[in-house]
Amino acid sequence: MAAIDLHIHSEYSSDGEFPVADIVGKCLGAQLTLFSLTDHNSVRGVGEAARLARERGVGFVPGIEIDCNYRGTDLHLLGYGIDWQSADFARLEEEVAAKVMASFGGMVDNLLKLGFSVDAEAVLEAAAGGLPTGELIAEVMLSDAKYHTPPLRPYMEGGARSDMPYINFYLDYFAQGRPAFVPVEYMDYRDAVELVRDNGGTPVVAHPGLNFRGREEVAEQLLDRGAAGLEVFNNYHTPEQAVYFTSLVLSKGALMTCGSDFHGKTKPRIAVGRFPADSRFDGRLSDFVNHVNRIGGQGV
């Protein structure tokens, strides 16, 4: 199977790092034949990615990753082959940004109560007009010794959580159910599915084993309630989870996808085009590529 990566983030994601041109360069450097840009709740980079993909002769699938909620659990829905010029997606980005900004004060307050030292204004300045994420809060605290309180030590150089300090801090403190978590009222999962389908796209549940760890069977409900497929191969699933989701996809006649979930500095151990996969299912991945609307290239 040709090399593909269907889950990549650019600087248009709140926690992404690289400009779109750099992302395309990384895809070419990894010898990918097809990729998708799937920024969080945003399609602002899709037009440039499509143009550069055409110019450089690599296949491209317009994409997005939508924050949503299913029965009290936050999750991510990937939308592939979407009409990215639809006003629906600009509206989505605006609505999510307003909700995230409204939650920021509570995030900072929760950290202060837990014994951290953090300056909200410094985080907003570092955001430079973007969204102040949990990963950015960690980056600001780690970058200046005046914020180096004892609770931060595991994320500092040499600490137990220092391998990917920004995302580890987010997972430990801001992920759903963690000590500094502030709920954000994301759209209902079924509304997210409808948004993707209404705009010509194919909805796929991102890394279900990450959001539903220990409750992997929920993925079947998500397929029954509108998802066309699951992201089976990625950098989060255990081998056992990959086997489970593969079996589920096959039994349901659903689509199978794969992706690195590359972000840059927030997830420095994740590289474009690099994730565990199983060559026995190359044909199933090819089925997805042949199913979805794509731009340029020859597919798989």
**Mean per-residue pLDDT for 294-300?**
57
Which tokens in the block code for residue 134? Answer: 């949990």
Which tokens in the block code for residue 100? Answer: 């995230």
**Mean per-residue pLDDT for 25-48?**
98
**Mean per-residue pLDDT for 123-140?**
97
Q: What is the pTM of this model?
A: 0.95
pLDDT tops 50 at residue 118: yes
**Mean per-residue pLDDT for 212-238?**
98
pLDDT tops 80 at residue 68: yes
Q: Which residues contact 269 (CB under 8 A, 6 or more apart)?
A: 163, 164
Closest CA to 168 of 278, 289, 267, 35: 267
What pLDDT, on the 0 to 100 scale, is given for residue 217?
98
The angle that helices 120-127 and 134-143 make with each other, rounded to 10 degrees, is 110
What pLDDT, on the 0 to 100 scale, is given for residue 2?
60
What pLDDT, on the 0 to 100 scale, is given for residue 294?
82
pLDDT tops 60 at residue 66: yes
> For 204, what's the count of Cα atoms within 13 Å in the CB-facing half-sphere?
33
What pLDDT, on the 0 to 100 scale, is given for residue 296?
63
Share of residues in the chain with pLDDT > 70 (%) = 98
Q: Which residues contact 149 (CB under 8 A, 6 or more apart)?
A: 115, 116, 117
- In tens, the pLDDT along 77-108 reads 999 999 999 999 999 999 999 999 999 999 99
DSSP string, 239-276: HHHHHHHHHHHHHHT-EEEE---B-STTSTT--TT---
Answer yes or no: are the C-beta atoms of 14 and 40 closer than 8 Å.
yes
What pLDDT, on the 0 to 100 scale, is given for residue 293?
81
What confidence category does residue 22 fall into, taking pLDDT thresholds of 50, 70 and 90? Answer: very high
Q: Please state the domain extents for the chain.
A: 95-174
| Calpha distance 120→133 (Å, rounded) | 11
- In tens, the pLDDT along 156-172 reads 999 999 999 999 999 99
**Mean per-residue pLDDT for 33-44?**
98
- In tens, the pLDDT along 181-217 reads 999 999 999 999 999 999 999 999 999 999 999 999 9
What pLDDT, on the 0 to 100 scale, is given for residue 297?
56
pLDDT tops 50 at residue 299: no
Share of residues in the chain with pLDDT > 90 (%) = 97
